[in-house]
Amino acid sequence: MLVSLLIIIYVTFIALGLPDSTLGSSFPAIAQNLGIPSNMAGYLAPVVSLGTVISSLLSDKLVRRFSTKWVTAISVLLTAIALLLFSFVTTDYVWAFFPIAIIMGLGAGAIDASLNNYVALHYKAIHMNWLHCSWGVGTTISPLIIGSFIDSENNSSGWNHGILTVSILLFAVSLMLFLTLPIWNKAKEIEDKRKVAAGEEKETESTTFGYASLFRNPVFYLAMVGFFCYCAMEGTTGLWLSTYLNHEKGLVTSLAATLGSTFYIGITAGRFVCGPLSLRLNEKTMIRIGETIALLGVILCLIPINEYFAIVGFVVTGLGCAPIYPAIIRSTPYRFSKEASQKAMGLEMAIAYLGNLSIPPLFAITAKSMGENYGILPYFTLILVCLMILCHETINWKLKRRDAHLSDEERDAYFSESN
């Protein structure tokens, strides 16, 4: 595949990460500035996730109808528009956060499902890890941008300028995607010629593979629950870490917003390291290593020494998260076949994002019922990590039994050169 297209996808993954940490890092300042409850972020996050679920479910049809390149470009543009509108919300129009959140989710879900499947089918594991490292760069940059605009003395003003800056960056990436659409066509031509020379069928963006086979597969449901737990863990921690540091550790909002990026710094650094490791270790091993480190990080968060030790714990948790998401994505064609991968990816992400739809508000409700006790965040994370480990180990056991009974022809449907 073209190196130029790979660079474009790297930049797009950075853009994909920018809005994911914007809400959580900015909301302590938003709540103070607009005079709204701090737990309102727990109700906005599931609205974003609702839009994500809808667009993820539609991703297969959208890709078949418009192709990955158009879905990607338009999705980034939608997210940029949503953040632009977000930055103009005032006290009298707080209700506008909710319809804007839907637009933000619609943009995020379609690009997530379509672009991840494209990379899983066309690129090696090292690129999947480094691409999601690029996503981590975006999620790390966003809180730093937000924190730099928040007035350290007022502790509330300036958040809108930070979000506006993130929006401008997304508009720039969207423009780049529209201007480079011909590169996608050239990459497809090169791939089709290679397949013809190798005696393989030309590739289509997606097939008409039915859902029935997926729904009859018990691995599908285990994968759904495992991905649900991962997204719930990452989403809840990313959303509430700044609030946790502000309320429980006594950090001022500007510092809490900036240090909210530590979790994503762990993810970003971990994915950079995981790139070369993925050349030697398979996806199953990468997931196991990640889950073990994440479990260790959560345990560190539970040790009550001081606020900085808790931050170290969240950095370690982020390091553990690093290989899990890319390895799950890369495993999708292997788990469900290359033909079913786009449909499986859309369903996988739609149901997984239900974790962001349900767990962050559940955390908010629980914390509020306990007297604004955001100190329960590490306990929430611990439960989700343990359940995720159980699901993935059960999947490994079932797939080992399946592979032992596959014929050579059947194996070709699940295994590719990039596996």
pLDDT at 409: 66
CA 306 distance to own-chain centroid: 29
The token pair at 106 is: 């619609």
CA 406 distance to own-chain centroid: 33
Report how far residue 340's alpha carbon sits from residue 348's, in angstroms, rounded to the nearest whole number.
Answer: 12
pLDDT at 384: 94
pLDDT at 205: 47
Torsion of CA 406, 408, 414, 419, to 10 degrees: 120
Its pTM stands at 0.70
pLDDT at 414: 66
pLDDT at 350: 77
pLDDT tens, the chain, 419 aa long:
567 888 888 899 888 888 877 877 787 788 888 888 877 877 887 788 788 888 877 877 888 888 888 988 999 999 999 999 988 888 888 888 899 989 988 887 777 777 777 877 777 767 777 777 787 788 878 888 888 887 656 556 688 888 999 999 999 999 999 999 888 888 777 666 665 665 555 554 444 556 777 788 888 899 999 989 998 898 888 878 888 888 877 776 767 777 777 888 888 888 888 888 877 888 899 999 999 999 999 999 888 777 778 888 889 999 999 899 888 888 888 888 777 777 787 787 777 777 777 887 888 888 888 887 888 898 989 999 999 999 999 999 998 888 887 777 667 666 654 44
pLDDT at 82: 92
